[in-house]
Structure formats: structure tokens, C-alpha cells
């Protein structure tokens, strides 16, 4: 496990809800559903963070509960927030972004020169043959 998600703490190897942080998380979800921006919803809930970090908090599925983490957020609230998040992103034109950077072309055509040398040592022979490998730019 890399780190313990916000809203939990580990006691004797078991994840338990940190009620103070969990209350802030629940307020974050409520504020966002009430129309606040990600950063403002987090700040109003008492979570000092950035826009992207607030988004990650809203997208963390551990808050629904799993084999290790107890639930902090109910499924209905979580799903409503995800729907709202996608709706807002679509309204701002952030769902259909395409990279303007072109993918590099990777040469896939190779050829060998004529094998003129033969070595008793297999490693030396392989090294020689690989030296004859030529890549053709497509």
C-alpha cells in the first residue's frame, strides 16, 4: 500500500475512519453537489487543496468501502458526484480534448547485410550479426 487515503487512519493494521477528516470529505461531496467549484467546495469543507487534488478526492472509490477500507460515502452520493463532474466537464468542453502532438513514427522495417564472417563463439557471432542489422526509415 502506497499511502493511506484522506479520511482514514491505520490502527493495528486495520483501516478505520478518521471521523474529523471523513466529515470534511462528506462536506466536500455536499458542497460540490450544491454547485460549488472543486477548489471552493474543498476549502469550504476545511480541506486546503488544489483543484486537481479535490477532483481526485471526489473520484476515490475507497470511500465507497472495500475489503480493507470502511465506507465513508454512500454509492448514490458518489454516483451523483461523478455524473455532475462529467456534466460540468462536458459543459466546459473538457471531454473531447485531443492532443496536438503527433505520435512519433517508429521504424518497423529491418534488414540484414550479407553474413560474411563466422565465429566459433556464439556470443561473438550474435554480436556480428546484430551489427549487420539495418533499420529502414518508413
Q: pLDDT band for position 29 (50/70/90)? A: very high
Task: Look up the CATH number of domain 8-91.
Answer: 3.90.1750.20
Instruction: Delimit the domains of the chain by residue range.
Output: 8-91
Specify the residue for cell string 476549502: 43
pLDDT digits (tens, 9 = 90+) for 4-16: 999 999 999 999 9
Query: C-alpha angle 88/84/79, rounded to 5°?
Result: 150
Q: What is the pTM of this model?
A: 0.68
The mean pLDDT value for 100-123 works out to: 79
The cell for 39 is 477548489
Amino acid at each position: 500500500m502506497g499511502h493511506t487515503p484522506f479520511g482514514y487512519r491505520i490502527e493495528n493494521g486495520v483501516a478505520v475512519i478518521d471521523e474529523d477528516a471523513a466529515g470534511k470529505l462528506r462536506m466536500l461531496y455536499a458542497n460540490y453537489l450544491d454547485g460549488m467549484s472543486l477548489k471552493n467546495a474543498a476549502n469550504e469543507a476545511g480541506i486546503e487543496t488544489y483543484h486537481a487534488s479535490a477532483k481526485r478526492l471526489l473520484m476515490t472509490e475507497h470511500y465507497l468501502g472495500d475489503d480493507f477500507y470502511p465506507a465513508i460515502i454512500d454509492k448514490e452520493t458518489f454516483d451523483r458526484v461523478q455524473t455532475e463532474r462529467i456534466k460540468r466537464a462536458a459543459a466546459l468542453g473538457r471531454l473531447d480534448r485531443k492532443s496536438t502532438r503527433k505520435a512519433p513514427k517508429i521504424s518497423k522495417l529491418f534488414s540484414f547485410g550479407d553474413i560474411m564472417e563466422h565465429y566459433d563463439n556464439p556470443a561473438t557471432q550474435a554480436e556480428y550479426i546484430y551489427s549487420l542489422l539495418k533499420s529502414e526509415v518508413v
